[in-house]
């Protein structure tokens, strides 16, 4: 196969936003047949660089060459016409439409004749070729995150892209889905496509990528062949120091639970029971991990405790007080903070960083009297939190929509961990999703610190390493039920993995 | 060659304001073209319009005619900010007129309170009448999840016929030779007797309300809740916002201000109640104004004066250029369409593809 050496060559790309230089003279190349990982801290400029390649932003300076020709990409249409496809950090699907409708959306105007039967056949073939589970006729709102991802890939494949950009595709995937995705990516690469994979997970670089480019503060600091580097070197390149190990010395007081759930039954979006008869006790200073493939009722469980989803049967007690189905405001005031799985779903994107930071605390006497919000106090707190949680934003009056994905996550963490007084329970769903390694480390330490101070943490995660490092106990959820509970010291990856597929543990203790 | 639409990325406030100005200017061109087709020199029409804002007498008149529009639009800035699509300012204006007139009639026949209390009572009751009329669909939305657009729209017709019934029936002036007119309001029930001209009290009042609304929206917890609710319903729930309560309060303010607009019609402009056909459409014009002002209460007041000027110009043009009044409605409608187009082009750009 002969052709130009590079599918894509970006030279000297500069992109400025008000008060931010998101890309500062960045160069980047993509070869045919390679998976090229793009690493870097939150706000380093990865998404911006790829959004430029996909035509969402226009660079202030620099050149883009595709297939050896200089091009001017003025919008996603130009990009698609050049065979460039992108799967965004946040999915851009229309929930009420079917998979097929989402795939053909935008094609109609391009003069394609829509033949539904033919399209469905083609889609079904593609789905089978990659061993996926979706059907062209399912509605998008019914799909899990992994399945939505498949729809996005399907969109790209159907448009016959030769250059595929994936922005943090695995942050919402289960480990199995990730493995499947990587097989797909390798398959695509072997057919000569170039794949750009933005990620924060270093293992992924080594399991799927051929080359890796590291970005830092808007510049590209290095491009390496994956075979010629190692984790330590990449960490050093990214954050300039090695990672710390988590350690905690805390003692549990198991005399009285802080949070006690008994026999909870909660319905999911599809109207089926998503949580079935779940009971557990959470003690002061304890981190209780919930393991499970996402979509097995974990999110619904947390939403129900937070008062955002109706509990059909069962009871939740907080310090002995019944908070079942209370108004979310009452539950917040009672000391429950909640880090949700989909942070954007629970943010006000057109409002400022400061406003989003006090989204829950605006009534609190720290920030308001009975009449007015004291914005001066809010702003002071916001400045403090922006520093403490290293939220990359030019000012606290910046719109949240302008933040990078990881920085929105940092903001939510800052809000839940930094603005609510007398927190007793932290409900944390995938708290480190989308965070770079340094921030992940920081959040882990923060959760441990809170536990040491006596706060009880309910931690939902798909990463067993994270769960095993932090939790005092791990319960495994499968199809809405708790299939077993393990204590620190009994953790065993294989066993937990098995339980996640529904195999019950012989001795169940909760 | 083909034209294609493409979504724009971000846009700044400056860009947004510039687009609005350009499109309002363009609406004059389009309307001008229509005038030319009607056989009138567009330059004349537009000149007449701008003259309205240049002489003190007509500018006062413009401010006066703009008052009901302005109050209703002020209310709409609140409603729309919390994503409550109140199309019912029209009906809420009518209810405000009914309440104000009701107070006057009751007082005239039964003498309930000292004269100097009549005007304050009219203010309070017209606010409440409009507010409750708007809170009704908000209640339906909060309790039953009924979308507000149809109920608020339908209630306009109910209110229209209610006013019509009153003015042709029980509220008709018995000494009025059978004309559908109420009695003339006594001086203590009229806004123009306070400071000599209704605009002298109305415009400052509108600015004060704009300031209060701005403060309310930006500085109070309740205003914050409305903004969050308007941004993202899920986020509001998550933040612990009492959504039903917020909807009710916001709609009460929105409808109440429209009700005050109704008060300015009967107690300021007309000095009595007339059949609704005399002021039909104010509530819809207020929607245009709220959008022209980009939901900013400060801008809503000047925008309302601008539209009041259009109404005055309509009379002038009718008299001097021999054009029917609907001609001025053409101008209004073009401005509205152009604002909508402008909003569209803020989000999309046109591209020529060869
Ligand atoms: N539309 C925008 N307007 C203003 N600033 C922006 C915009 N998009 C990005 N930025 C800023 O540019 C910088 C780079 O953002 P970018 O989204 O490229 O980061 P990233 O490397 O993808 O980070 P993450 O890992 O958190 O997704 C950030 O400081 C961000 O706040
Ligand atoms: Mg990003």
Chain B residues near residue A74 by CB distance under 8 angstroms: 351
Do residues A155 and A100 both lie within one domain?
A: yes
Alpha-carbon distances, residue A76 vs A16, A337, B5, B210, B344 (angstroms): 20, 39, 12, 42, 19
Residue B300 pairs with which residues in a beta bridge? Answer: none
The nearest CA of chain A is from the CA of B2 a distance in Å of: 11
Q: How far is B156 from chain A (nearest CA, A)?
A: 33
Q: How far is B219 from chain A (nearest CA, A)?
A: 5
**pTM across the whole model:** 0.86
Q: Does A360 touch chain B (CB under 8 A)?
A: yes
Q: Per-residue pLDDT tens for A63-84?
A: 999 999 999 998 888 898 899 9
Band of pLDDT at residue B294, cut at 50, 70 and 90: confident
A55 and A105 assigned to the same domain: yes
Nearest CA in chain A to B215: A372
The verdict on A172 and A316 lying in the same domain is no
Ligand number, closest to the Cα atom of A436: 1
Say yes or no: A227 and A263 in one domain: no
Distance A47 CA to ligand 2 centre (A): 4
Residues 216-275 of B with CB under 8 A from A: 219-221, 224, 227-228, 231-232, 234-235, 237-242
Q: Report CA(A356)–ligand 1 centroid distance (Å).
A: 17
- Residue-level length of chain A: 510
User: Is A348's CB within 8 Å of B224's CB?
Assistant: no
DSSP A108-160: GGGT----HHHHHHHHHHHHHHTT----TTSBGGGS-HHHHHHHHHHHHHHTT
Q: Which of A191, A207, A239 is the last residue of a domain?
A: A239
- pLDDT score at A510: 43
Identify from B238, B244, B350 which residue to disrupt to test chain A contact, counting A C-beta atoms within 10 A and taking the largest count. Answer: B238
Residue-wise pLDDT tens digits, B23-78:
888 888 888 888 888 888 888 888 888 899 999 999 999 999 999 999 999 999 99
Q: What is the CA(A275)–ligand 2 centre distance, in A? A: 32
Cα A295 to the chain's mean position, in Å? 14
**A80 found inside a domain:** yes
Residue A97 lies in a domain: yes
Handedness of CA A351, A352, A357, A361 (dihedral sign): negative
The alpha carbon of A200 and the centre of ligand 2 are apart by a number of angstroms equal to: 10
CB-nearest to B234 from A56, A338, A346 is A346
Residue of B6, B239, B241 with shortest CB distance to A75: B6
Which residues of chain A does B240 touch, with a Cβ-Cβ cutoff of 8 Å? 327-333, 360, 363
Ligand lying nearest the CA atom of residue A402:
1
The first and second tokens of residue A125, run together, are: 């073939």
- Alpha-carbon distance values, A467 to A261, A459, A491 (Å): 21, 8, 10
Which ligand ends up closest to the CA of A51?
A: 1
Residue A478 within a domain: yes
Domains of chain B from N-terminus onward: 59-309 (1.10.3470)
Nearest atom (ligand 1) to Cα of A406: 26
My answer on whether A152 and A296 are in the same domain is no
| B220 vs A333, A355, A373: nearest CB | A373
Kindly write down the DSSP assignment for every residue of B113-169, as one continuous string: S-GGGHHHHHHHHHHHHHHHHHHHHHHHHHHH---SHHHHHHHHHHHHHHHHHHHHT
Question: Do A115 and A29 sit in the same domain of this protein?
Answer: yes
- Asked whether B282 and B68 are in contact (CB, 8 A), the reply is yes
For A344, residues 6+ apart whose C-beta sits below 8 A from its C-beta are A90, A408
Ligand 1, atom 27, lies closest to the CA of A405
CB under 8 Å to A408, separation ≥6 — which residues?
A: A343, A344, A347, A400, A434
CA A41 – ligand 2 centroid, Å? 9
Pick the residue whose CA is nearest to atom 24 on ligand 1: A42
Torsion of Cα atoms, B158 then B159 then B163 then B165, to 10°: 10
Contacts from A366-374 at CB under 8 Å and sequence distance 24+? Answer: A366/A421, A368/B221, A371/B220, A372/B219, A372/B220, A373/B219, A373/B220, A373/B221, A373/B224
What is the least distance, in Å, from the CA of B243 to any CA of chain A?
A: 11
> Domain check: are A212 and A329 in the same one?
no
Domain limits for position A58: 8-239
Q: A451-508: per-residue pLDDT in tens?
A: 999 999 999 998 888 999 999 999 999 999 999 999 988 888 888 888 888 887 654 4
Q: Is residue A198 a part of any domain in this protein?
A: yes
Alpha carbon nearest to ligand 1 atom 16, residue = A45
CA of A195 relative to ligand 1 center, distance in Å: 21
Question: What percent of chain B shows pLDDT beyond 90?
Answer: 63
Q: Is residue A347 part of a domain?
A: no
Same domain for A82 and A141, yes or no, is yes
Q: Does A371 touch chain B (CB under 8 A)?
A: yes
Residue A53 confidence (pLDDT) = 95
What is the pLDDT, as a whole number, of residue B8? 64
| Nearest Cβ partner for A359 among B219, B220, B239 | B239
pLDDT of amino acid B352: 63
Is A19 a domain residue? yes
pLDDT at A166 (0 to 100): 93
Q: Are residues A234 and A282 in the same domain?
A: no
Nearest CB to B237 within list A75, A328, A362 = A328
Give residue A509's pLDDT.
Answer: 43
ipTM of the complex: 0.87
Q: Dihedral sign for Cα A340, A343, A345, A348, please.
A: positive
Q: Which atom belonging to ligand 1 lies closest to the Cα atom of A23?
A: 14
CB contact (8 A) between residue B235 and residue A109: no
Whose C-alpha lies nearest to ligand 1, atom 29? A43
Query: In whole angstroms, how far apart are CA B5 and each of B23, B315, B352?
Result: 18, 40, 9
Q: Given a cut of 60, is residue B82 above it in pLDDT?
A: yes
CB within 6 Å of ligand 1 — which residues? A 17, 20, 22, 40, 42-48, 89, 392-393, 402-407; B 10
Q: How far is A362 from chain B (nearest CA, A)?
A: 6
What is the rounded distance in angstroms from the CA atom of residue B307 to the CA atom of residue B311? 7
- Do A176 and A325 share a domain, yes or no? no
The answer to whether A74 faces chain B, any CB pair under 8 Å, is yes
Question: Does the distance separating the beta carbons of A359 and B4 come in below 8 Å?
Answer: no
Tens-binned pLDDT, residue by residue, of chain A (510 aa): 456 789 999 999 999 998 889 999 999 999 999 999 999 999 999 999 999 999 989 999 999 999 999 999 988 888 988 999 998 877 666 777 888 888 887 665 555 566 777 888 888 888 888 777 788 888 888 787 778 888 888 888 888 899 999 998 887 777 777 888 898 899 889 989 999 999 998 989 999 999 999 999 999 999 999 999 998 899 888 887 777 777 666 777 788 899 999 999 999 988 889 999 999 999 999 999 999 988 899 999 999 999 999 999 999 999 999 999 999 999 999 999 999 988 888 999 999 999 999 999 999 989 999 899 999 999 999 999 999 999 999 999 999 999 998 999 999 999 999 999 889 999 999 999 889 988 899 899 999 999 999 999 999 998 888 999 999 999 999 999 999 999 988 888 888 888 888 887 654 444
DSSP summary character for residue A340: -
Q: Please state the atom number of ligand 1 nearest to the C-alpha of residue A393.
A: 31
| A328/B238 touch (CB, cutoff 8 Å), yes or no | yes
Q: What is the CATH number of the domain that holds A146?
A: 3.40.50.300
Least CB–CB distance from A360: residue in B7, B227, B240: B240
A229 and A290 fall within a common domain: no
Does any domain span residue A18?
Answer: yes
What is the reported pLDDT for B351?
64
Pocket test for ligand 1, best of A47, A204, A393 (most atoms within 8 A of CB): A47
As a whole number of Å, the end-to-end CA separation of chain A is: 60
Same domain (yes/no): A308, A213: no
CA distance to partner chain A, nearest, from residue B337 (Å): 25
CA of A403 to the centre of ligand 2 (A): 9
Is the pLDDT at B313 greater than 70? The verdict is: yes
Q: Is A89 part of any domain?
A: yes
CA-based Rg of chain A, rounded to a whole angstrom?
A: 23
Q: How far is the CA of A435 from the centre of ligand 1 (A)?
A: 13
- Please indicate whether, in this complex, the C-beta atoms of A328 and B231 are within 8 angstroms of each other: no
Mark yes or no for CB contact A360/B239 under 8 Å: yes
The domain total for chain A is: 2
CB proximity A56 to B under 8 Å: yes
Q: What confidence tens digit (pLDDT) does each residue in A229-279 have?
A: 998 899 888 887 777 777 666 777 788 899 999 999 999 988 889 999 999
């Amino acid at each position: 196969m002969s052709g130009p050496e590079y599918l894509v060559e970006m030279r000297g790309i500069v992109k400025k936003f008000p008060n931010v230089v998101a890309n500062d003279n960045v160069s980047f190349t993509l070869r045919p047949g390679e998976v090229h990982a793009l690493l870097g801290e939150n706000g380093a400029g990865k998404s911006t660089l790829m959004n430029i390649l996909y035509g969402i932003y226009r660079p202030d300076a620099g050149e883009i060459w595709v297939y050896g020709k200089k091009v001017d990409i003025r919008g996603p249409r130009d990009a698609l016409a050049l065979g460039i496809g992108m799967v965004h950090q946040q999915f851009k699907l229309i929930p009420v439409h079917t998979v097929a409708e989402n795939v053909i959306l935008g094609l109609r105007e391009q003069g394609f004749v829509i033949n539904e039967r033919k399209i469905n056949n083609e889609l079904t073939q593609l789905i089978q070729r990659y061993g996926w589970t979706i059907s062209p006729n399912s509605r998008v709102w019914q799909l899990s995150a992994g399945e939505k991802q498949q729809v996005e890939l399907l969109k790209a494949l159907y448009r016959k892209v030769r250059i595929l950009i994936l922005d943090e595709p695995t942050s919402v995937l289960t480990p199995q889905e990730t493995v499947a995705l990587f097989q797909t990516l390798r398959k695509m690469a072997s057919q000569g496509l170039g794949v750009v994979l933005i990620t924060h997970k270093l293992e992924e670089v080594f399991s799927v990528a051929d080359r890796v480019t590291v970005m830092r503060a808007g510049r590209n600091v290095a491009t390496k062949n994956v075979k010629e580097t190692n984790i330590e070197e990449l960490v050093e390149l990214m954050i300039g120091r090695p990672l710390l190990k988590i350690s905690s010395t805390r003692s549990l007081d198991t005399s009285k639970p802080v949070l006690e759930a008994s026999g909870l039954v909660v319905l999911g979006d599809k109207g089926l029971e998503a949580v079935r008869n779940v009971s557990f006790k959470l003690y002061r200073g304890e981190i209780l991990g919930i393991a499970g493939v996402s979509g097995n009722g974990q999110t619904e469980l947390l939403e129900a405790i937070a008062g955002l989803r109706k509990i059909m049967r069962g009871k939740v007690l907080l310090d002995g007080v019944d908070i079942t189905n209370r108004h979310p405001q009452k539950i917040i005031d009672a000391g429950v903070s909640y880090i949700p799985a989909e942070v954007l779903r629970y943010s006000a994107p057109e409002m400022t960083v400061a406003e989003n930071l006090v989204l829950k605390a605006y009534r609190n006497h720290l920030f308001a009297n009975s009449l007015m919000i004291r914005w001066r106090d809010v702003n002071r707190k916001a400045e403090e939190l922006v520093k403490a949680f290293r939220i990359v934003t030019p000012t606290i009056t910046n719109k949240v929509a302008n933040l990078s994905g990881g920085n929105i996550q940092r903001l939510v963490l800052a809000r839940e961990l930094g603005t609510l007084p007398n927190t007793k329970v932290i409900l944390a769903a995938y708290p480190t999703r989308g965070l770079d390694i340094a921030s992940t480390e920081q959040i882990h330490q923060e959760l441990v610190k809170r536990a040491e101070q006596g706060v009880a943490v309910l931690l939902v995660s798909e990463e067993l390493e994270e769960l095993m490092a932090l939790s005092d106990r791990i319960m495994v959820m499968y199809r809405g039920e708790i299939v077993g509970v393990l204590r620190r010291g009994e953790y065993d990856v294989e066993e937990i993995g098995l339980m996640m597929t529904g195999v019950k543990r012989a001795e169940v203790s909760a | 060659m083909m034209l294609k639409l493409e979504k724009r990325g971000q846009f700044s406030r400056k860009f947004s304001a510039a687009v609005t100005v350009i499109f309002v200017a363009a609406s004059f061109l389009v309307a001008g073209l229509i005038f030319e087709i009607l056989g009138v020199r567009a330059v004349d029409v537009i000149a007449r319009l701008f003259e309205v804002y240049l002489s003190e007498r007509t500018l006062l008149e413009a401010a006066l005619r703009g008052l009901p529009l302005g109050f209703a639009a002020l209310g709409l800035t609140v409603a729309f900010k919390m994503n409550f699509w109140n199309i019912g300012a029209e009906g809420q204006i009518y209810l405000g007129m009914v309440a104000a007139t009701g107070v006057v009639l009751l007082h005239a026949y039964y003498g309930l309170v000292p004269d100097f209390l009549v005007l304050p009572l009219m203010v309070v009751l017209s606010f409440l009448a409009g507010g409750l009329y708007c809170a009704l669909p908000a209640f339906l939305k909060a309790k039953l999840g009924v979308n507000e657009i149809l109920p608020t729209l339908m209630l306009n017709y109910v209110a229209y016929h209610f006013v019509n019934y009153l003015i042709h029936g029980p509220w008709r002036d018995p000494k009025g030779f059978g004309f559908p007119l109420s009695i003339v309001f006594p001086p203590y029930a009229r806004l123009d007797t306070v400071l000599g001209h209704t605009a002298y009290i109305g415009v400052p009042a509108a600015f004060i309300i704009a300031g209060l609304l701005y403060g309310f929206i930006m500085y109070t917890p309740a205003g914050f809740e409305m903004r969050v609710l308007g941004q993202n319903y899920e986020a509001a729930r998550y933040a612990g916002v009492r959504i039903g309560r917020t909807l009710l309060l916001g709609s009460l303010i929105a409808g109440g201000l429209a009700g005050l607009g109704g008060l300015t019609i009967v107690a300021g402009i007309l000095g009595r109640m007339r059949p609704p056909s005399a002021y039909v459409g104010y509530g819809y014009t207020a929607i245009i104004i709220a959008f022209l002002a980009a939901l900013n209460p400060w801008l809503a007041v000047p925008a309302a004066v601008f539209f009041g000027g259009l109404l005055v110009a309509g009379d002038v043009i009718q008299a001097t250029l021999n054009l029917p009044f609907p001609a001025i409605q053409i101008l209004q409608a073009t401005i509205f369409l152009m604002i909508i187009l402008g909003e569209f082009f803020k989000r999309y750009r046109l591209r020529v593809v060869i």
